[in-house]
Structure formats: C-alpha cells, structure tokens
Amino acid sequence: MLGDKLREAIAKLTGKAYVDEAAVKTLIKDLQKVLLASDVNVKLVFELSKRIEERALRSEKKEALTLKEHVVKVVYEELVRLMGDSYTPRIDKHKILLCGLYGSGKTTTAAKLAKFYKNRGLSVLLVGADVDRPAAQEQLRQLAEKVGARFYTTKADAAAIVREALKDAKEDVIIVDSAGRNAFDDQLAAELKAIYEVLKPEEVFLVITGDIGQVAGKQAAEFNSIVPISGVIATRMDGSGKGGGALSAVAATGAKIAFIGVGEKIDDLEIYKSEKFVGRLLGMPDLETLMEKIKQVAKEEDLKKIESEGLTIETFYEQLKAAKKLGPLGNVFSMLGVNNIPKDVLQQSEEKLKKYEAMINSMTKAEKKDPKLIRSSKGRLARIAKGSGCSENDVREFLSQFEKVEKMMEKFQKDRGFRTKMEKMLKGMPPGVM
Ligand code: GDP
Ligand code: MG
C-alpha cells in the first residue's frame, strides 16, 4: 500500500544521524518509486520531486527546525498539494447530478449522500434516473428506504423522469442517480446533457473508483467536456493502492475532489480533505504530530546496538515498544530497510507488551542472548511462564514472533550487504551538517 511505502521512505530519512543533500536525494528517489508504483502520473511525480528538492535544499529553512524536520515538513506539504484542494460541502437547498461509468458506485453514493445531508438537517429526494438497468431502480429504492429519504422514479426516459420528479419536489436536496456505461460514449453524453438541461443542478458529481489510478484524470476531463463537473467522488478508497494516483490525476485537471467513499456501508463517506488524506497515508493525524514524532525517533544507539549485538530478545522488545509509540517512523527495522515485518508483530497491545516485559524479566542472561534455549527446554519454558504469570503458550507466541523477525533480519543481512549499509547509515555525513 502507498501509505506503508511512504512511511518507510520517510523513516529511512528520519533514521539517519545526519541529513545532507545526498540523503534528500535518496528520499526523493524513494518517493518517486513509491508514487509511480501507486500510479501517480510521471509528470506529476517529476514536478513534485523538483519542488521538494528546491524547497528542501535551497530555500526558506526556518531557524527553529533542523534540516531533517524541515525536509519532512516540505515533503508533507508537497504531498498535500499533489493530492489537491480540500472540499467544503454546501449545506443548503440544492440539486445534485451523479454521473459515472458502470459500477463506479453512483447508486451507493447517492444513498450515502442522502444520509450525509439528512444528518445535517436537510430533507432529501432521491431520483432514480438509471433507465438502463431496472435493477438499479430497485437498488436505489431500497437504499432510500434505509436512509429515510423519499424515492422517486417513473417509467420514462431519464430526462423525463427528472422533469416529473421536479414537479412537486419540496425537499432541500435533490439527488439524481443516472445510468452508466462500460465506456464513455455518445449515447451517455446525450443522456447526461438532457438530464443536465432539465435539472439545472448546482453540483455535478462524477463518481469514479479509486482503483483506476491516473486514468481518473482522463475520465474527469471526458465527462467535464459534456457537463460541467463540479466535483469528483472517488469510491473504494478503502481498498485501492492506486487511490493516490486517482486523486492526484483528478487534482491535476483542476477538478475538485469532493468526497471519498471508504467502504460499502451507508456511513462510509468522507468530505475530502487532502491534509487528512496525506496524514492518514503517513499514519499521523496532522503535521504537528508528525514533527513531534520526528523529534522522538529511535536513536543512533539503537541502530548501533542491533548492528553490534545482532537482534536480541531485548532489542526486539525495545523495538516493539518503539513501534507502538512512534509508529513506522520510529522503529529501527524500517530504518534498516527491513520492511516486511508483519503488522501484527509490530502492533502489539499494551497488555501484551506488559506480558513480554515480565517474560524478559524472568529470563536468564543466556536465554535472552539465545532464546532457542527456551524452545528446547520444557523446564525453562515452564519457569518463565510461571515467573511472569503468563501461559506457556504466551511465551511460545513471543518466541515465535522473535524468531520470525530474526529470520528476516538474517536474510536481509545476507541479501544486501547489511554491514556496508549500516556503516553508511551511521556515518551518514561529517558531523556538523546537522
Ligand atoms: P453504480 O453502477 O455506479 O451505481 O455502482 P454501485 O453503487 O451499484 O456500486 C457498485 C459496487 O461498488 C457495489 O458492490 C458497492 O457496494 C461497491 N462500492 C461502492 N462504493 C464503495 C466504496 O467506497 N468502498 C467499497 N469497498 N465498495 C464500494
Ligand atoms: Mg447504479
């Protein structure tokens, strides 16, 4: 996922003892790879890189920030910019036309929007103008009932349905669900135009799925050439690794992203805020929290310790604690570039961590150094379980998590010249650069 990879790229920078021009360039290269992989347009990635490089290395560094903090702030701000402006919904009497291709999520989104405006005290009429698929009308009728909005449709062509619906509509918000196509074509264009003329909507939302990546930009431009799109709603942002690609492509066309769909349920709709979107990718609610974390990230000593002693049960435990407190930005594994450690290993509950600490306290020095001793001795296992007030299964679980990570570290050391990498990372730059 885009978020994981972005966090790793930034963690690599924050894990460095010294940040210099080369480190910034490496970060930019990593960012490029990550963004291209989630289908962000090449040109946009190039522009973003250029801006980050310029701002990070050549311009306004605030005195109070270290270079490392400054760079991360610039990256955050540029990502927010890449992902477009935030949206402020109208909370007044208005008419909405939803358009988009088959299966993009129009009908579901119509119901989500109905709930959204109802929650804000507005009455809502849902108009079924998808005359292509009879089942679509029934789908919307049922959803309308579920959210408590009035539903209207009749047997006619789309524009006529809308005309009839408008006749005695008294609701504050009128939402029209239109028919899709497999691909954009003249017939769809004509139908949308006709609805548009009759409805005269204040908002025209194009519904797209986040998983189409940068094609979303082209789609937005196509639809916009037929009816003036006032906002894009990107659905399935809950499951798509290409969501960032879709949003950035839409933003680049100048179209606004209005809402994002984040699940199949009626409440899974969010007003689009690019800061929030980027914040979530980075695992931080906002820039301030991000800056706080950077100040606290794992120390050089942690890196050195793992290098000189290898992974011990104690360094492992320390990293579990750090991962809980600081997230990926602060954990040594991701700084070392060992990225595929399973989430459930890194994200432990408070309760579990307490148990682990108690287990470690019940281990002998030799056991801590070589946990295999515990595995192979029933007596040791029982002693540690008893001493820490845990079950033997708990102890086994902790051991197997440790072994999993140990195996990955070993593989990593073999694969990639761990020593050289560590040395480079620790030496970083002549002291004084930062
Ligand atoms: P339409 O053909 O454009 O009207 O699309 P539908 O509203 O019928 O939705 C197509 C499918 O996408 C349905 O199975 C929806 O449940 C699903 N869907 C819509 N929005 C979202 C979303 O935000 N997240 C997820 N995971 N699924 C969604
Ligand atoms: Mg539909």
Residue identified by tokens 């192979």 is 376
| Cβ pair 86, 274 in contact under 8 A | yes
pLDDT digits (tens, 9 = 90+) for 243-287: 999 999 999 999 999 999 999 999 999 999 999 999 888 877 888
Decide whether any atom of ligand 1 lies within 6 Å of the 267 Cβ. Answer: no
Q: Closest ligand 1 atom, CA of 235? A: 23
Nearest ligand to the CA of 179 is 2
Which domains does the chain possess?
2-82 (1.20.120.140), 94-281 (3.40.50.300), 287-426 (1.10.260.30)
Decide whether any atom of ligand 1 lies within 6 Å of the 413 Cβ. Answer: no
As a whole number of angstroms, the distance between CA 216 and CA 25 comes to: 30
As a whole number of angstroms, the distance between CA 186 and CA 197 comes to: 16
pLDDT digits (tens, 9 = 90+) for 200-209: 999 999 999 9
Q: Closest ligand 1 atom, CA of 268? A: 23
- Local confidence band at 429 (pLDDT 50, 70, 90 cut-offs): very low
State the alpha helices, DSSP H only, in 272-391: 274-281, 287-296, 300-309, 313-326, 332-335, 343-346, 350-361, 365-369, 372-375, 378-388
Which uninterrupted H or E stretch holds 162? helix 158-167
What distance in angstroms lies between residue 339's CA and the mean position of ligand 2's atoms?
Answer: 40
pLDDT at 417: 61
As a whole number of angstroms, the distance between CA 67 and CA 388 comes to: 44
Decide whether any atom of ligand 1 lies within 6 Å of the 238 Cβ. Answer: yes
Torsion angle of C-alpha atoms 126, 132, 134, 138, degrees rounded to 10 = -20
As a whole number of angstroms, the distance between CA 339 and CA 293 comes to: 19
What distance in angstroms lies between residue 389's CA and the mean position of ligand 2's atoms?
Answer: 57
Decide whether any atom of ligand 1 lies within 6 Å of the 105 Cβ. Answer: yes
Nearest ligand to the CA of 102 is 1
pLDDT digits (tens, 9 = 90+) for 27-86: 999 999 999 998 999 999 999 999 999 998 876 666 667 788 888 899 999 999 999 999
* 3-class secondary-structure state, position 46: helix
pLDDT digits (tens, 9 = 90+) for 175-211: 999 998 888 889 999 999 999 999 999 999 999 999 9
| Cβ pair 416, 391 in contact under 8 A | no
What distance in angstroms lies between residue 103's CA and the mean position of ligand 1's atoms?
Answer: 6
Burial of 109 (0-12, 13-18, 19+ CB in 10 A): buried
Q: Closest ligand 1 atom, CA of 262? A: 23
Pocket test for ligand 1, best of 264, 267, 271 (most atoms within 8 A of CB): 264
**Which residues, 6 or more positions from 424, have their beta carbon under 8 angstroms from its beta carbon?**
none
pTM of this structure: 0.79
| Dihedral sign for Cα atoms in the order 256, 258, 263, 265 | negative
What distance in angstroms lies between residue 208's CA and the mean position of ligand 1's atoms?
Answer: 10
* 3-class secondary-structure state, position 325: helix
The count of other CB atoms within 10 Å of the CB of residue 163 is 17
Pocket test for ligand 1, best of 98, 108, 259 (most atoms within 8 A of CB): 108
Decide whether any atom of ligand 1 lies within 6 Å of the 261 Cβ. Answer: yes
As a whole number of angstroms, the distance between CA 46 and CA 52 comes to: 10
Q: Closest ligand 1 atom, CA of 207? A: 3
Q: Closest ligand 1 atom, CA of 133? A: 2
The count of other CB atoms within 10 Å of the CB of residue 392 is 13
